[in-house]
């Protein structure tokens, strides 16, 4: 299933190929409650066609009307919608405020190349950093995954947006809980990486997911994989085996990475025992140990693998969205 952002850019590219200029909008920042999160996209034409969403209706109507009046013809500008907005009197039903980046994209070979690169990033082929200095046009540069951040940087006239920096869930060891984590993570838009070096679990994984093409399966101990490749700040690492030979080694390597979430399954008593082992054997510091969510997940009284997976993904999303 293609993401909404992918469909927005693909449609914008199609409009441009038909010699129609396009306006590309990106939500930069939200204040209070808002219907769309930072990074959300909308594309529109002067004929009133649009795809994507900024607010669910009210902003889109005003934006399209202003395009028809000949506004927004600078290469880039930012408009604030909602309470405190100087550009428009529109108020959002939820009382929030949105800062929206508006890019005017004329029909040109350079614009077609620009959107084609964005499309490649949204397909996962490359990770890009989009930067611009208002009111100039945006620039794109490739960025290694380890140096990517999921956050948008927006200060005065300077804007930097990661493109293709989708959150990644790295699962250390396949299990019944991992099975349901994979399904939930896919629904939530995560890129899933599974590190499984045990042959029996590899066979079970292949049996449970006959088409593994959407996922990256690494036939290597997760600790060795993390030692070699590390993990970016947009990665959550979860160890779900209950096997100290996997969990302990994985966690020892995980805390050396920039992962925004690290967690391992186990009861309160088992988690305390693991913490003591990691401190004694792996010589992890208190700061290192405090990065590990154990017991993993939100405390919702989960019992079944599906419920445990729900608590894990809910906690990961909480940390991702709150920046903690």
User: Is-cis flag, bond preceding 135, omega within 30?
Assistant: yes
State pLDDT tens for residues 97-155: 788 999 999 999 999 999 999 998 887 677 888 999 999 999 999 875 544 555 688 88
User: Average pLDDT of the chain?
Assistant: 87
Distance CA(253)–CA(171), nearest Å, equals 14
Whole-prediction pTM: 0.61
Distance CA(259)–CA(274), nearest Å, equals 20
Residue 110's pLDDT is what?
A: 94
State pLDDT tens for residues 197-247: 999 999 999 999 877 666 788 999 999 999 988 887 779 999 999 899 999
Cite the beta strand spans of the chain per DSSP E.
22-31, 41-44, 50-52, 76-82, 97-105, 128-133, 139-142, 153-155, 158-163, 168-172, 191-195, 216-218, 235-239, 261-264, 292-293
User: Is-cis flag, bond preceding 156, omega within 30?
Assistant: no
Task: Output the six-digit token pair for 314.
Answer: 């809910």
User: By three-state DSSP, how is residue 51 classified?
Assistant: strand
* Helix-helix angle 222-229:244-254, to 10 degrees: 10
Are residues 232 and 168 in contact, defined by beta-carbon separation less than 8 angstroms?
Answer: yes
């Amino acid at each position: 299933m293609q993401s909404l952002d992918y469909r927005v850019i693909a449609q914008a590219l199609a409009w441009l190929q038909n010699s129609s200029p396009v306006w590309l909008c990106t939500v930069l920042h939200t204040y209070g409650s808002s219907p769309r999160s930072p990074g959300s996209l909308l594309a529109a034409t002067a004929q009133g066609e649009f795809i994507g969403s900024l607010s669910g209706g009210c902003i889109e109507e005003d934006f399209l009307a202003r395009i028809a009046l000949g506004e927004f013809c600078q290469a880039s500008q930012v408009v604030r919608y909602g309470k405190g907005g100087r550009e428009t009197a529109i108020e959002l039903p939820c009382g929030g405020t949105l800062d929206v980046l508006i890019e005017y994209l004329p029909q040109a070979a350079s614009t077609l190349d620009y959107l084609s690169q964005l499309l490649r990033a949204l397909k996962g082929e490359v990770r890009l950093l989009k930067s611009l200095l208002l009111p100039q046009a945006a620039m794109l540069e490739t960025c290694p995954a380890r140096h990517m951040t999921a956050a948008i940087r927006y200060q005065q006239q300077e804007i930097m947006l990661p493109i293709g920096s989708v959150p990644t869930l790295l699962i250390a060891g396949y299990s019944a809980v991992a099975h349901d984590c994979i399904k939930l993570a896919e629904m939530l838009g995560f890129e899933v990486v599974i590190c499984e070096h045990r042959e029996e679990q590899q066979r079970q994984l292949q049996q449970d997911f006959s088409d593994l093409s959407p996922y990256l399966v690494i036939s290597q101990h997760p600790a060795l994989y993390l030692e070699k490749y590390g993990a970016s700040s947009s990665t959550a690492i979860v160890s779900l085996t209950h096997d100290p030979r996997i969990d302990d080694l994985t966690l020892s390597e995980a805390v050396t990475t920039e992962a925004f979430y690290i967690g391992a399954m186990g009861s309160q008593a088992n988690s305390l025992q693991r913490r003591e082992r990691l401190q004694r054997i792996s010589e992890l510091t208190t700061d290192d140990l405090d990065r590990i969510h154990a017991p993993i997940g939100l405390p919702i009284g989960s019992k079944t693998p599906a419920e445990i997976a729900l608590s894990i993904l809910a906690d990961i999303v909480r940390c991702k969205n709150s920046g903690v």
